[in-house]
Amino acid sequence: MRLSAETPLPASVQAPGYDRASQAAGIAHIGIGAFHRAHQAVYTDDAMGAGERDWGIVGVSLRSPGVAAQLNPQDGLYTVSTRSAAGTGLRLIGAVQKVLVAADEPQAVIDAIAASPTHIVSFTVTEKGYLRRSDGTLDLDAAKGPSSLYRFIGAGLSARKAKGLPGLTLLSCDNLANNGAVLKALMRQYLAVEYPVLVDWFDRECRCPATMVDRIVPATTNADRAAIEAELGVRDEGAVVTEGFSQWVIEDDFAGPRPRWEKVGAQLVADVAPYETAKLRMLNGAHSALAYIGLGAGHDYVYQAIADPAIRPLIERLMRDEAAPTIDAAPGQDLAAYADALMDRFANPALDHRLIQIAMDGSQKIPQRWLETLAWHQARGARCSSLEAAIAAWIAFLRSDHPIDDPLADKLRAVAAATDAMQMLFGEGGLIASGWRPEI
Ligand code: CS2
């Protein structure tokens, strides 16, 4: 039997603490993968459980029908299984009402964005989903394509304006530096070409706050689904598995109403930058290094790579001696304690987090994870032995038999195959010099 609103649940499974059927959808979320379901949807479920109203989520997949096929037959319901050394927990999340597949029903997506109860459109479309060119500007040809987020937001905003509705908060929840400002600039660039009359309205009526999102969410496996089915008594095709830890830091700059996520653990702050920078350079920076170095050493999972005595000290150095000094910490932000906590999270043996999952899309991740740290030290005449080892491991990975899942895969494979790959990637006129080099 399949999970649905009718399914009786075992007493051990926490259920939504609010009446789902009476909630309007205040949020449209683009890119409803496992991360959103284990992070923002959980905060939103908690917020509605704490009395916030009308923050149901309409999920959107731009291309793949996979998540819609998992969740729609289940009335949008799915479970989140938390796994930590302290034990496991299973809860049912009710915040998602339905999932639309933009490729199949584009007008329904535009209607959801233009619906009057909608106040927030949020995004987890991964780094490459923003369709940036190497110089950071919008790739307009790609942005005009059928599965571009910009097309849907442009059409949705245009419909809102025509109906006399207020603007929206566009909330980027991806691991990009300055994700709010980046989204805003790219969206403006799109509107200036496709909807020039909307630009002033967009500036006045819409906001793009920055966020730092953090929760480790490995891809769900068949074995995970089977274990959850054994506990739940029914089949949940949409189940997600994650760690106990979760963090969400949000710039408090919204266009209209928002859930009081701070009631349930989110941090609403004036400046997200110190948290975002620490997370990108320390957590994600270490993750990418673990991925390439770990795969090179024959490991499959993060907990194996971090336990390897040849790798662990290098990751410690990367976080504490290379990344941390580059971060201008917020008052009360303790980077040494953060590094300690990250080492424990990486070592979590209850989480089967595949290194190959992290290794994907390196060209989109490495600039904000490694290069900003490297540039900071370079400007001071210092070397970064751990990051240099990580770059060498990335090149070795690109030369290996592993499948390379990256929008620049062909280019990278060709560059890495050359004997002077380091020079071609990082030297004058190399791939990174042609637009990747971060500004410091
Ligand atoms: C990971 C992230 O796959 C990756 O690139 O580094 O997904 C990481 O697990 C999350 O950002 C943690 O919050």
Q: What percent of the chain is predicted at pLDDT more than 90? A: 90
Confidence of residue 54 (pLDDT cuts 50, 70, 90): very high
Domains in the chain: ranges and CATH: 13-269 (3.40.50.720), 273-434 (1.10.1040.10)
pLDDT at 440 over 70: no
364: left (phi over 0), alpha (psi -120 to 50) or beta: alpha
pLDDT in tens, 159-214: 999 999 999 999 999 999 999 999 999 999 999 999 999 999 999 999 999 999 99
Q: What is the pLDDT of residue 126?
A: 97
What is the C-alpha separation between 277 and 143, in angstroms, rounded?
Answer: 27
Q: What is the pLDDT of residue 438?
A: 43
- The amino acid that residue 160 corresponds to is R
Nearest CA to ligand 1 atom 3: 358
pLDDT in tens, 261-293: 999 999 999 999 999 999 999 999 999 999 999
Pick from 247, 358, 361, 368 the residue to mutate for probing ligand 1's pocket: most ligand atoms within 8 Å of its CB: 358
What is the C-alpha separation between 184 and 206, in angstroms, rounded?
Answer: 9
Alpha-carbon distances of 226 from 8, 13, 357, rounded to whole Å = 18, 16, 21
pLDDT in tens, 14-36: 999 999 999 999 999 999 999 99
Nearest CA to ligand 1 atom 6: 284
The DSSP 8-state label assigned to residue 174 in this structure reads: S
Name 124's Cβ contacts closer than 8 Å, sequence gap at least 6: 29, 30, 31, 32, 33, 35, 36, 40, 173, 174, 213
Q: What is the pLDDT of residue 431?
A: 63
Cβ(175) – ligand 1 distance below 6 Å:
yes
Burial string for 264-293 (b: 16+ CB within 10 Å, else e) reads bebebbeebbbbbbbbbbbbbbbbbbbbbb
Its pTM stands at: 0.96
Q: What is the pLDDT of residue 415?
A: 87
Q: What is the pLDDT of residue 437?
A: 44
Cβ(179) – ligand 1 distance below 6 Å:
no
CA 5 to ligand 1 center in whole angstroms: 31
Phi, psi of 113 (to 5 degrees): -65, -35
Cβ(357) – ligand 1 distance below 6 Å:
yes
Name 119's Cβ contacts closer than 8 Å, sequence gap at least 6: 26, 27, 168, 169, 254, 255, 256, 257, 258
Reduced to 3 states, what is the DSSP secondary structure of residue 107? Answer: helix
Q: What is the pLDDT of residue 85?
A: 82
Cβ atoms of residues 423 and 430 within 8 Å: yes
Q: What is the pLDDT of residue 420?
A: 79
Name 216's Cβ contacts closer than 8 Å, sequence gap at least 6: 242, 243, 245, 345, 348, 351, 353
CA 358 to ligand 1 center in whole angstroms: 7
What is the C-alpha separation between 10 and 293, in angstroms, rounded?
Answer: 43
CA 167 to ligand 1 center in whole angstroms: 31
What is the C-alpha separation between 79 and 84, in angstroms, rounded?
Answer: 16
pLDDT at 436 over 60: no
Ligand 1 atom nearest residue 35's Cα: 7
Q: What is the CA radius of gyration of the chain?
A: 22
Name 150's Cβ contacts closer than 8 Å, sequence gap at least 6: 131, 138, 143, 186, 187, 190, 194
What is the mean pLDDT of the segment spanning 67-92? 95
Residues β-bridged to residue 101: 61
Task: Give the strands of the sheet with 211-214, arranged side by side.
Answer: 211-214, 247-251, 267-269
What is the C-alpha separation between 285 and 371, in angstroms, rounded?
Answer: 9
Nearest CA to ligand 1 atom 1: 358
Cβ(215) – ligand 1 distance below 6 Å:
yes
pLDDT at 422 over 80: no
The angle at the Cα of 316, spanning 313 to 319, to the nearest 5 degrees, equals 150
Q: And the tokens for 9? A: 């649940």
Q: Are strands 120-123 and 25-30 parallel, antiparallel or unpaired?
A: parallel
Cβ(364) – ligand 1 distance below 6 Å:
no
| DSSP states of 317-373 | HIIIIIIGGG--PPTT--HHHHHHHHHHHHH-TT---BHHHHHTTHHHHHIIIIIHH
Pick from 175, 217, 277, 295 the residue to mutate for probing ligand 1's pocket: most ligand atoms within 8 Å of its CB: 175
Confidence of residue 428 (pLDDT cuts 50, 70, 90): low
Q: And the tokens for 355? A: 């290194």
pLDDT in tens, 38-52: 999 999 999 999 999
Confidence of residue 433 (pLDDT cuts 50, 70, 90): low
Pick from 173, 213, 216 the residue to mutate for probing ligand 1's pocket: most ligand atoms within 8 Å of its CB: 216
